[in-house]
Amino acid sequence: MKIPLVDLKAQYGCIKTDIDAAVQRVLDETDFIGGSAVTEFEKSFTAYCGTRSAVGLANGTDALQLSLLALGVGKGDEVVTAVNTFIATSEAISATGARPVFIDNDPQTYTIDVRKIEEKITPRTKAIIPIHLYGQPAAMDAINEIAARHNLVVIEDAAQAHGASFKGKTVGTLGRLACFSFYPGKNLGAYGDAGAIATNDEALANKVRMLANHGRLKKYEHEIEGYNSRLDTLQAAILSVKLRHLRAWTERRRQNASTYSQRLARAANIITPVVHADATHVFHLYVVRVQQRERVQQALKDAGIATGIHYPIPLHLQPAYKYLALPTGSFPVAERFASEIMSLPMYPELSADQIAFICDTLIKACQSNTASKPV
């Protein structure tokens, strides 16, 4: 049995007729840049997020960078964010001229540890970017309270959390604005790069839209220098088809995660995800922790089961951030977890039999471990 980490072929097979028709419609209309499908998707995604505005962009990294720029973040500023995430978040901060300031993981939820944010705030701090990691929202009430005390803006990195919520509020409505990635493997994924921002601040949305389209809202009228970060029409058409299925797909992910957790509960040396009591987790990734991970991964690979590591090197230990002079030991939780975390296959089309096979194989591999359960 071969089980991939993500199965985009299975997903396409389920929606092929609608996808093919949507793509053909764009080809027939030849409105490849700024076409009607972009407007339609932005309207639908706005409704999905429950915000006043959404702006389609070229990718999730640009969504972060343009959001920071639209809020006036720049050279000499500092932006607080989590240390265990993909580099796109900190890249976007650096691209504005600002400096990323890292915070360790919460040892239970793996999102940013809100107890450690305030000690890193300085007069140069302008923003906080909490990451809704693996599909679980960060503790947004506490983050917004800290931001209010220090007059900071909050930008949600929702790249992995389409449709997640905290205390009944959907991500996208929990900060000044939220940034989404539609990278193909995401819960809502394009067939190439794509992204968006969502916000209740329409003036801010227009600023992002202007920045993304060479500093203009009207053709050849450039109010500022901008960038080229438009969502192309083909990707918008594909995303509109997929968005109609997203709630059902999300429910399947949550059911699959529940099945995983129930089957793995009997394993003494496997730590399964903890869901915050106030959060609705959408399980972009299902991440466990094990000892002797490389040996366990190899056992699963030998059985035809793909796994991932998200992420193997915390950002402060990446060569790109050597200039920050943050040595090993600076973020002990993230550093310890980096050697233990392992992502199991997770997608809506995953069957109960596949999950059973994965769990049985994982438990067997971990039973032969001489090491104890991760702490």
Q: Transcribe 134-165 into DSSP letters.
A: GG----HHHHHHHHHHHT-EEEEE-TT-TT-E
DSSP secondary structure code for residue 112 in this structure: B
pLDDT band at 53 (very low <50, low <70, confident <90, very high): very high
DSSP secondary structure code for residue 119 in this structure: G
Q: What is the pLDDT of residues 329-339, one digit of tens each?
A: 999 999 999 99
Asked if residues 6 and 347 have their Cβ atoms less than 8 Å apart, the reply is yes
SS3 123: coil
Given this model, what pLDDT does residue 368 score?
76
Classify burial at 111, counting beta carbons within 10 Å of its beta carbon; exposed 0-12, middle 13-18, buried 19 or more: buried
Q: Which helix (H) or strand (E) holds 287?
A: strand 286-289
Percentage of residues in the chain having pLDDT higher than 70 = 98
Spatial distance between the Cα atoms of 76 and 273, rounded to a whole number of angstroms: 38
DSSP secondary structure code for residue 111 in this structure: S
Given this model, what pLDDT does residue 372 score?
56
Q: What is the pLDDT of residues 15-44, one digit of tens each?
A: 999 999 999 999 999 999 999 999 999 999
CATH 3.20.20.370 is right for the domain spanning 8-103+110-243: no
Percentage of residues in the chain having pLDDT higher than 90 = 96
Asked if residues 136 and 154 have their Cβ atoms less than 8 Å apart, the reply is no
Q: Cα 359–367–258 angle (5° rounding)? A: 25
Span 295-318, average pLDDT: 98
DSSP secondary structure code for residue 231 in this structure: P
Q: How far is CA 364 from the centre of its chain?
A: 31
Spatial distance between the Cα atoms of 302 and 351, rounded to a whole number of angstroms: 20
Residue 144 tokens read as 């917004």
DSSP secondary structure code for residue 268 in this structure: T
Given the DSSP bridges, would you call strands 286-289 and 341-344 parallel, antiparallel or unpaired?
A: antiparallel
CATH 3.90.1150.10 is right for the domain spanning 246-367: yes
Given this model, what pLDDT does residue 375 score?
63
With a cut of 60, say whether residue 371 has pLDDT above it.
no
Nearest to 347 by CA among 269, 256, 260, 261: 256
Spatial distance between the Cα atoms of 82 and 147, rounded to a whole number of angstroms: 15
Given this model, what pLDDT does residue 370 score?
56
Q: How do the domains of the chain map onto residue ranges?
A: 8-103+110-243, 246-367
Residue 142 tokens read as 């506490």
Residue 42 tokens read as 């932005």
Query: What residues contact residue 286 under an 8 Å CB cut-off, 6+ apart?
Result: 134, 256, 257, 260, 273, 343, 344, 345, 346
Q: What is the pLDDT of residues 235-256, one digit of tens each?
A: 999 999 999 999 999 999 999 9
Could you tell me how many helices (H) and strands (E) the chain has, helices first? 11, 14
Residue 338 region by backbone torsions, left for phi larger than 0, else alpha for psi between -120 and 50, else beta: alpha
The secondary structure of the chain in percent helix, strand, coil, rounded to multiples of 5, reads 40, 20, 40
Nearest to 296 by CA among 269, 326, 273: 269
Crossing angle of helices 60-70 and 88-95, rounded to 10°: 40
Spatial distance between the Cα atoms of 347 and 20, rounded to a whole number of angstroms: 22
With a cut of 80, say whether residue 69 has pLDDT above it.
yes
Q: Cα 24–30–36 angle (5° rounding)? A: 85
